[in-house]
Amino acid sequence: MTLTRTFHAMGTVTSLRLRRDDIHDRELDTVESIFRQYDDIFSLYQPTSELSRIADGSLRLPDSSQLLRENYAEAIDWRNTTAGTFSPHRPDGVIDLSGTIKAKAMSDARDQLTLISPTGWLLNAGGDILTSQNTEEPWRIGIVDPHDRTELLCTIRLKPTWSAVATSGTAERGEHIWRHNPESEFAQVTILAADILTADVLATSILSGGKQQLDHATHHHPIDALTVDRNGTILATPALRVHLSEAHSSEGARSRA
Amino acid sequence: MRKRAIAVSIVSSGAVIIAGWNIGTHAQTAQTTEAAPVPPPTRVAAPPAPTQTVIPQPKTSAPASAPPSIPAQPAPAAPAAPAPSNTFTGSSVSTPYGNVQVKVTVDAGKITDVTPLHLTDDGGRSVQISNRAAPILQQEILAAQSANVDSVSGATYTSDGYLKSLQSALDQAGR
């Protein structure tokens, strides 16, 4: 009863899961093509992409497409919202929109998926998750243990206000995040939100900005957070803590029965 | 004519200095927006942000002085002598950003925790201060059936790393 499609894009793998089997493959092609379109414009790995041409100086920013400039402006807004702990610039000054583009593609894919199937879909792009808001049975999401990536830290049953889950960490790609605060203590940051762009950007900003940015973000945005620091200490926002504790005790009761 | 040129030059260098000062202030404000000033032992500084939604973090090292535009008002909770462990509640203090009341925990003469009890904004509405992430034990959350999941969230894996990821196992299982 489940349909799964996986494809490579943006340097990672995206998997799409539908709780039905009456969808034609061609319909899912449209979802895949959204990721390719973003890649063609914004990838710094493709030397011919529009953003690569801005980086190498052959295209001036004012001459770039409206889509590119809008995405750049949006990323700048996020930089300002996060006190610079998220940035659309590499340390060498090159415009790098990889921090927002995957989430933007996922958001566009959501619109397409909602047309295909209003309920029962889940999109996982390289470890960041976006789901249909309406689902008969809640999706169960495992959060990877950053200190042993073959294990899960916990399981979260998603609610409509948590239809997006983004995790940033240092485990897979090494220290690829430009740390705003060198004393930042987090090894992994997971954010649950209603939209994937908010979740993704804030996860990155908290990993970079540390506890100070965690407090700021959880206060100013309707999100929940689960963080693991380098010593293994786990922090959770109150709603998530209650949710996890309840899930734990009910699972425990079930396994004892 | 010459006098005027000098005057203009004085004014413009003044403007540069003011702009520079502003930039400096901004940078400092940005850094300290959420890290509350470490309170000196005998008094408690009011939370320093225009948003005044700050949760003081005694462990965070912060600049010794608050940014210039922020009023630091002494709260009455002031332990004079070292005590084993005590909690003091300050009276409500009015600030330009609303009323603030804090609870201070003192351990062996040192402030170990500062908790805002009540924050209200200009309109007198209570400001939510309770969404701060707090420690949780892994044993508390590791559900017995945690392997039974639909999808896995983790730090972004590369295309190569995907094959080693838990998500890859789930996709292959095609559940």
Of B57, B136, B157, the CB nearest to A244: B136
Contact A171 B154 (CB under 8 A): yes
Query: Which residues of B are less than 8 Å from A122 in CB distance?
Result: 150-151
Of B35, B138, B161, the CB nearest to A234: B138
Contact B168 A235 (CB under 8 A): no
A251 pLDDT above the threshold of 70: no
Q: Which of A20-29, A73-82, B86-95 is predicted least confidently?
A: B86-95
Strands (E), chain B: 85-89, 93-95, 98-107, 110-119, 134-136, 151-153
* Interatomic CA distance for residues B161 and A172, integer angstroms: 7
Query: Which residues of A are less than 8 Å from B145 in CB distance?
Result: 155, 251, 254-255
Query: Which residues of B are less than 8 Å from A171 in CB distance?
Result: 154-155
**Residue A67 vs residue B97, higher pLDDT:** A67
Chain centre distance of CA A158: 15
Domains annotated on chain B, with CATH? 35-175 (3.90.1010.20)
A176 pLDDT above the threshold of 60: no
* Residue A93 falls in which region: left (phi positive, over 0), alpha (psi -120 to 50) or beta: left
B107 pLDDT above the threshold of 50: yes
* Interatomic CA distance for residues B19 and A91, integer angstroms: 25
pTM of the full structure: 0.70
Structural contact between residues A92 and A104, judged by C-beta atoms closer than 8 angstroms:
no
Condensed to tens digits (0 to 9), the pLDDT of residues A107-125 reads: 999 999 999 999 999 999 9
Contact B57 A212 (CB under 8 A): yes
Contact A139 B136 (CB under 8 A): no
First-to-final CA distance of chain A: 29
Query: In Å, how far is A63's CA from the nearest CA of chain B?
Result: 31
Contact A220 B129 (CB under 8 A): no
Condensed to tens digits (0 to 9), the pLDDT of residues B5-33 reads: 544 444 444 444 444 344 433 433 333 33
Tally A–B CB contacts below 8 A.
203
Of A12, A83, A155, the CB nearest to B149: A155
Condensed to tens digits (0 to 9), the pLDDT of residues B36-91 reads: 333 333 333 444 434 333 344 444 343 444 344 444 444 444 445 444 568 877 77
Structural contact between residues A225 and A235, judged by C-beta atoms closer than 8 angstroms:
yes
Contact B156 A128 (CB under 8 A): yes
Chain centre distance of CA B51: 11
Structural contact between residues B154 and A144, judged by C-beta atoms closer than 8 angstroms:
yes
Condensed to tens digits (0 to 9), the pLDDT of residues A199-225 reads: 999 999 999 999 999 999 999 999 999
* Interatomic CA distance for residues B69 and B49, integer angstroms: 10
